Amino acid sequence: MPHMDRRSLLKAGSCMTAAAILRHGGSHAQAATPTLTLYNGQHEKTTAALADAFTGATGIQIAIRKGSSSQLANQIIEEGDASPADVFYSEETPPLAALAKRALLSRLDKETLGQVPAAYAAGDGTWVCASLRSRVVAYNKAMVEEATLPESVLGFADPAWHDRVAYVPTSGAFLQQVVAIELMKGRDAALAWLRGLKAHGRLYPTNGAAMKAVEAGEIATALINNYYWFSIAQEVGEDNMASALFYYRNRDPGGLVTATAAGVLKSSRNQDAAQKFVAFMVSAGGQQAIVDSNAEYPVRPGIESFFPLEPFEDLNPPPVGPSDIGDAAGALTLVREAGLA
């Protein structure tokens, strides 16, 4: 009995302490320095590096809320005026386009917009791209020869690739690829491609899991973004990789270049700090932080990546950019129609 009393006492004590910490921890941050709330759909590591650099440069703290980009965008729409978010950093452009459509974003400073090429900023100036990535095919070198890969990404929906291709329909980049196919080859082709993948491909919950699966030899190929390969290569060494990347250099939708982007919420009560953050993202310091933590391409000219990236000029991507893709609403309908969501 006394044994039990002590334990309950301990529990009561620690829970009160914990509650105190939780309560004060929150208010403390707000009382001391101004904090920006960042809704983040980008990979944790990159955003953390960016946020640390920003805090180091300006002293402004950042509270980060993780989630999937489209989920966060929809959450912001639901939250409306009272949304706690100040800045939204998305892993792809369609969610920002969706927010812009509903007039939820503030115009960014002219100076910020001027740092990047025009193709990588919104037409109405409400959002700006932060980094670029290429769609690729990751393939296991022992399981498949590069020469046997189909000439177009549409070829993967073929029965010949049954159970040999991994795809991630919840990935925003995948949805953009669907839009690209729809724009370039027509809606029917896109639907057929999705149906083919559903029948013959293997569904994975995330790009990272798909990449790991290819590297581990669980599946022959995966349709993902380029940087996943580099993360693993960084750990085990490029020469030890069981997998390699294949880039579509023939302007095929399979070589689509997509962009991450960020915007300032109109409802934010920290407009100045938020604008500062987005400006930092496209500044030299911010861009360097981004490309050093992840194998993405910078939007700002003159920044060198830490990773041995495929030179951007050699990519020859299809002529579909962020403004063509818009908010990719059609892609979701197609995916649902194909029975994938």
Partner 1 sequence: MGLPLVYVGLRAWQAGPAGIAAELLRERTLMLLANTVTLAVGVTAGACVIGVAVAWCVERSDLPGRRWWRIAASLPLAMPAFVASYAWSSVDVALQSLGGAIFVLTIVVYPLVYLPVGAALRGIDPAFEDVARSLGKGPWRTFFTVVLPQAWPALGAGALLVLTHMMAEFGALSLLRVQTFTTAIFQSYELQFDSASAALQSAVLMALCLPPAWGEMRLRRRLHVARAGRGSARRPAPAALGRLVAPAVAGFGLLLALSLGVPFAMLAYWLAVGTSAGSDLGELVPSIAGSLGLALPGAAIVVALALPLVFASVRHPGPLSRLADRLPYVVHGLPGIVVALALVFLSIRYARPLYQTALLLFLAYAMLFLPIAQSALRASIELVPPKLEELARGLGRKPFAAFTAVTLPNILPGVGAALALMVLEVMRELTATLMLVPTGVTTLATEVWSHSNDGEFAAAAPFAVLLVLVSALPVYVFTRRSTEVYDLQ
Interacting residues of 117 by C-beta distance below 8 A, sequence separation 6+ = 299, 301
By beta-carbon proximity to partner 1, the closer residue of 18 and 160 is 18
By beta-carbon proximity to partner 1, the closer residue of 33 and 71 is 71
By beta-carbon proximity to partner 1, the closer residue of 121 and 224 is 224
Provide, rounded to whole angstroms, the least separation between the CB of residue 28 and partner 1.
12
Provide, rounded to whole angstroms, the least separation between the CB of residue 247 and partner 1.
22
Residue burial 122-140, b: 16+ Cβ < 10 Å; e: rest: beebbbbbbbbbbbbbbbb
8-state DSSP, 265:
B
Provide, rounded to whole angstroms, the least separation between the CB of residue 120 and partner 1.
25
Provide, rounded to whole angstroms, the least separation between the CB of residue 177 and partner 1.
15
Interacting residues of 90 by C-beta distance below 8 A, sequence separation 6+ = 41, 42, 69, 72, 73, 96, 172, 260, 261, 262
Provide, rounded to whole angstroms, the least separation between the CB of residue 1 and partner 1.
7
Angle, CA 295 vertex, CA 294 and CA 300 arms, to 5°: 90
| CB of 93 closer than 8 Å to CB of 261 | yes
Distance from C-alpha of 208 to C-alpha of 229, rounded to nearest angstrom: 9
By beta-carbon proximity to partner 1, the closer residue of 103 and 216 is 216
Provide, rounded to whole angstroms, the least separation between the CB of residue 250 and partner 1.
30
CA distances (Å), origin 262, targets 47, 59, 86: 12, 20, 11
What distance, in Å, lies between the first and last C-alpha atoms of the chain? Answer: 54
By beta-carbon proximity to partner 1, the closer residue of 129 and 168 is 168
8-state DSSP, 67:
-
Provide, rounded to whole angstroms, the least separation between the CB of residue 287 and partner 1.
22
By beta-carbon proximity to partner 1, the closer residue of 196 and 318 is 196
Provide, rounded to whole angstroms, the least separation between the CB of residue 44 and partner 1.
8
By beta-carbon proximity to partner 1, the closer residue of 121 and 331 is 331
By beta-carbon proximity to partner 1, the closer residue of 105 and 113 is 105
CA distances (Å), origin 180, targets 19, 94, 240, 257, 330: 50, 12, 34, 10, 11
Contacting positions for partner 1 (CB under 8 A): 1, 4-5, 7-8, 11-12, 14-15, 18-19, 21-22, 26, 37, 44-45, 63-68, 70-75, 77-79, 82, 84, 170, 202-213, 216, 218-219, 235, 332, 336, 339-341
Read out DSSP for 274-301? HHHHHHHHHSHHHHHHHHHHSS-EESST
